[in-house]
Amino acid sequence: MTLKLDQVYGQVAAMSAALATSRDELVNRVERAVTEWGSDWADEDRVRGKVEAAKTSWLLARPLEQPGSYPLSDVAPPSWRVLATDGSQIEVSRHEIASCFLVNVGEVVLDYGDEPGARLSSAPSLYFEPEDIYPIYGDEERAADGAIVGAVRDTQEFHRLAELARAADRPAAALVDGTLILWRDETNPRGLANLAPDDVKRRRLDAMLELFEAGEQAGVPVVGYVSSPGGSDVVNSLKVLICPEHPVDCDRCPFTPKDMRPSAVTDKPCDAVLRVTDATMFRRLLKAGERSPLFWSGAPVLEAYGRHRVAFCYLDAGEEIARLEVPAYVATSPELMSFAHWAAVDQARRGRGYPVALAEAHEQAIVRWADREAFFRLVAQRFVREGHRVVLSAKQLRKRGALV
């Protein structure tokens, strides 16, 4: 009937006990990571030589900036703007009367400084044509599922954000909720760029690159803001530095018995920093408002991005360590990067830990359950008026009036 909390309770207690044991071990490993960062990473030539040559199954961060601290510099212009978009959707439901999906994109333009102001809005788009419902996704025709609707939504978000960036009449930063790396399309990065122009995956990539182009031309940094990031790209590179082998090749790991996979063994030299995330390490290293140096991401999907490779850094945003991702034109411009850094910190401060522009864009986009019901009622009314056949599934009818 509902979740039986009394039965979960015992399991929660066991989880808590296990956590306490593993936490002590983790503390030691974080300590080791911090030490390696301070000593090994400082030797730039060694880092480049060893990380470049390594063959690993994990993602490696490659150094872009010199090690050291990157404190917050006060670059506040007299007036500036922060842009953000976010989306939500009503997915195709087999239980409803019509095959369609809806994407709602919220957008936010916040002006600060001499002329404060705000523009908050949202725009819905309905998709119902056969090519929307059975689109080509990764070179295959597929019924529009959550992944496809998500890709269409991303495409719209990037597209709108690009328009806002082009229209900016003062210094501005454009925030994206989450990563700029299209992880889902990782499997075949070279293929991605060769997909047909109307392929849903290709369109999302093109919209992302269009956003980068727009930002570059307008001098507006695009920043992907990742809250509570789970990545360990930097720690993975530290593993390579810890490993006594040179060059590192995990497929021939001498610390793993022949009949086992390296992941099944946990006393290899690199396991000294096992399960340490970049965020836990940088929590120890960064002071309020500071960011880490920039790294190039090693995500294979970025091969499809051409010259717009993605770099990232970690930021002490006060409440949490956030990950900032920026395209190459930002990463390689100290001016754009210091504005992006400053704007991210300022936004997190105003939003009490999370950028206010992203929070408001989300609020603008959100489609609540009541909105969803109202939407399908609207569709039904219209269909009835125009004489279309209206049939709800038995399951949907049951949900609307449960038998008690």
Partner 1 sequence: MSEPNGNGMIGEVIQASTTRFRAIATRVFEPPRFGSFVKVSATGGQTYGVVAGVETASFDSARRAMAFGMPWEQLLREQPQLIELIQTEFEIVVIGYGEGDLLHHYLPPHPPRLHDFVSACTPTEVAALTDSLEFVGTLASMREPSMHELVSAAIREASLARGRDDGFVSEAARAVAELFKDDYDLAMSIVRRLE
Sign of CA pseudo-dihedral 237, 54, 306, 198: negative
How far, in Å, CA of 334 to CA of 64, rounded? 12
Smallest gap from residue 337 Cβ to partner 1 (A): 25
CA-based nearest residue to 26, from 238, 280, 284: 280
Smallest gap from residue 345 Cβ to partner 1 (A): 14
How far, in Å, CA of 126 to CA of 114, rounded? 39
Q: Which is nearer to partner 1, 311 or 365 (CB)?
A: 365
Smallest gap from residue 88 Cβ to partner 1 (A): 15
Positions in the binding site for partner 1 (CB under 8 A): 108, 110-113, 116-120, 350, 356, 360, 363, 368
List C-alpha distances in Å: 271 to 51, 134, 242, 243, 251: 17, 46, 9, 9, 16
Q: Which is nearer to partner 1, 325 or 346 (CB)?
A: 346
Per DSSP, what are the bridge partners of residue 82?
A: 110, 173
Contact call for residues 335 and 307 (beta carbons, < 8 A): no
Smallest gap from residue 169 Cβ to partner 1 (A): 16
Q: Which is nearer to partner 1, 111 or 132 (CB)?
A: 111
Q: Which is nearer to partner 1, 269 or 351 (CB)?
A: 351
> Is there a cis peptide before residue 244, judged by omega within 30 degrees of 0?
no
First to last CA, the chain: 12
Smallest gap from residue 35 Cβ to partner 1 (A): 41
Q: Which is nearer to partner 1, 48 or 119 (CB)?
A: 119
Q: Which is nearer to partner 1, 117 or 146 (CB)?
A: 117
Contact call for residues 365 and 252 (beta carbons, < 8 A): no
Query: Reading across the β-sheet that carries 172-177, which strands appear in turn?
Result: 62-63, 295-296, 310-316, 321-327, 222-226, 172-177, 79-90, 101-113, 117-127
Q: Which is nearer to partner 1, 183 or 369 (CB)?
A: 369
Q: Which is nearer to partner 1, 35 or 121 (CB)?
A: 121
Q: Which is nearer to partner 1, 112 or 296 (CB)?
A: 112
Smallest gap from residue 360 Cβ to partner 1 (A): 6
CA-based nearest residue to 355, from 364, 346, 347: 347
What are 63's two structure tokens? Answer: 């150094």
